[in-house]
Amino acid sequence: MDGAPGGTVGEGGITPDELQLAARNHGLPLEALRDPITPAGLHYLLIHYDIPAVDPATFELEITGAVDRPLTLTLDDLRARERVDRPITFECAGNGRALLEPRPVSQPWLTEAVGTAEWGGARLAPLLDEAGVKPSATELLFSALDKGIEGGELQSYERALPIGEARDALLAYDMNAGPLPPQHGFPLRLVVPGWYGMQNVKWLTRITVLEEPFTGFQNSVAYRMYDADGEPGEPVTRMLPRSLMVPPGVPDFMTRTRHTEPGSTTLTGRAWSGYGSIERVEVSTDGGSTFSAAVLEPALGPNVWRGWSFSWEATTGEHVLSSRATDTGGNIQPLDPPWNLKGYANNAVERITVQVAP
């Protein structure tokens, strides 16, 4: 495409740099949407820098900054606190990026950058109370052990969050009733329900209570909504509503086009949002021209995807299947993708091509 903005490409092929990223990271195989809790090895994965080697015996978490009583906690200290286990859905902010035109150059996600795990650990709020957060405090800065170069500067991965948004956060040391795998943040990670994945800081080692807004790279530069002019806009925050379908039938090896036989078919999938519970899921079997209501399964919790099903009488020919979600805040998935320079928060409805033949 002529005139594509800087940082994007007009053609469809991915670059060698993107291929290298895609080899390190991976999405959820969509057939795994059948599981309410995603096995750790199938959960989507994005690693910004390198996986650090951490000795759990010497690991410490600091809570410092604008507090009356700074804390230094070992893993045993954290395990001695009240334990909570929560199923929570994660989605990468760049999910759907590779479907945009012109395409932003980065990790080339289609729609698979999602997963739901049972995260176990200690609640953050009581630890903040124990440390005595000063009344002047406004944000919490979460610092990780991994380091890299981004935007031309050497940095640790760090993300800040308003204190009010962080009160419900979890300091997780377990995933699906076992220790965090190294690639998922061993020995400790932050889990912030409802937010896109960049906020769930892995290899967490320090929490700094701030009295001024954090101006570091990940907040002020990286995760912002940019227009084509390259100026940073609103920050990326909570997950927009999305629904995904378990692809029906069987796939073609190269194209992943689905093939199934005519007759009664039950379509299933899962939907989620960071702005409220899922209130409605609708399914289209005609490329998005019309939608009909699906049947919702009981909710698994306030911050976890919700299952749905839909009965389809498959007729011979080619069909494009879609599903779309609406949350209790009235947010609904758009038919067309919302474009931005970084490729964030593309929650346009999915399109699955299915060939139906005897």
Mean pLDDT for all residues in the chain: 95
Q: What is the pLDDT of residue 326?
A: 98
CB 222 within 8 A of CB 104: no
Domain end among 235, 269, 298: 235
Q: What is the pLDDT of residue 262?
A: 97
The count of C-alpha atoms lying within 13 angstroms of the C-alpha of 137, restricted to the half-sphere facing its C-beta, is 25
Question: In the block, which residue shows the tokens 């951490």?
Answer: 54
Shared-domain flag, residues 176 and 318: no
The phi and psi torsions of 342 (rounded to 5 degrees) equal: -95, -10
Shared-domain flag, residues 321 and 268: yes
Shared-domain flag, residues 50 and 195: yes
Shared-domain flag, residues 92 and 163: yes
Shared-domain flag, residues 181 and 299: no
- What share of the chain has pLDDT > 70, as a percent? 98
Residue 138 tokens, joined = 């406004």
Tens of pLDDT along the chain (358 residues) come to 456 777 777 666 788 999 999 999 999 999 999 999 999 999 999 999 999 999 999 999 999 999 999 999 999 999 999 999 999 999 999 999 999 999 999 999 999 999 999 999 999 999 999 999 999 999 999 999 999 999 899 999 999 999 999 989 999 999 999 999 999 999 999 999 999 999 999 999 999 999 999 999 999 999 999 998 888 899 999 999 999 999 999 999 999 999 999 999 999 999 999 999 999 999 999 999 999 999 999 999 999 999 999 999 999 999 999 999 999 999 999 999 989 999 999 999 999 999 999 9
Q: What is the pLDDT of residue 10?
A: 65
Q: Which of 89, 44, 32 is nearest to 246 (CA)?
A: 32
- Cα–Cα distance between 154 and 48 in angstroms, integer? 13
Q: What is the pLDDT of residue 118?
A: 98
Structural domain that includes position 126? 8-235
Q: Which of 274, 133, 300, 109 is nearest to 192 (CA)?
A: 274
Shared-domain flag, residues 157 and 61: yes
Q: Which amino acid is at 85?
A: D
- Which run of H or of E encompasses 121? strand 114-123
Shared-domain flag, residues 193 and 327: no
Q: What is the pLDDT of residue 8?
A: 75
Residues 173-208: b if buried by 16+ CB within 10 A, e if exposed: bbbbeeebeebbbbbbbbbbbbbbbbbbbbbbbbbb
CB 184 within 8 A of CB 191: no
Residues 6 or more apart whose Cβ sits within 8 Å of residue 138: 162, 163, 210, 211, 212, 213
CATH number at residue 161: 3.90.420.10
92 located within any domain? yes
- Cα–Cα distance between 265 and 119 in angstroms, integer? 34
pLDDT tens, residue by residue, 4-44 = 777 777 666 788 999 999 999 999 999 999 999 999 999 99
Residue 149 tokens, joined = 């170069």
Q: DSSP 3-state assignment of 157?
A: strand
Domain end among 235, 262, 289: 235
- Domains of the chain: total: 2
Q: DSSP 3-state assignment of 99?
A: helix
Q: What is the pLDDT of residue 64?
A: 98
Q: DSSP 3-state assignment of 232?
A: strand
With left for phi above 0 and alpha for psi between -120 and 50, is residue 347 left, alpha or beta? alpha
With left for phi above 0 and alpha for psi between -120 and 50, is residue 176 left, alpha or beta? left
Question: Interior CA angle at 27 toward 13 and 356, to 5°?
Answer: 75
Q: What is the pLDDT of residue 1?
A: 46
Domain end among 172, 206, 235: 235
3 located within any domain? no
1 located within any domain? no
β partners of residue 186: none
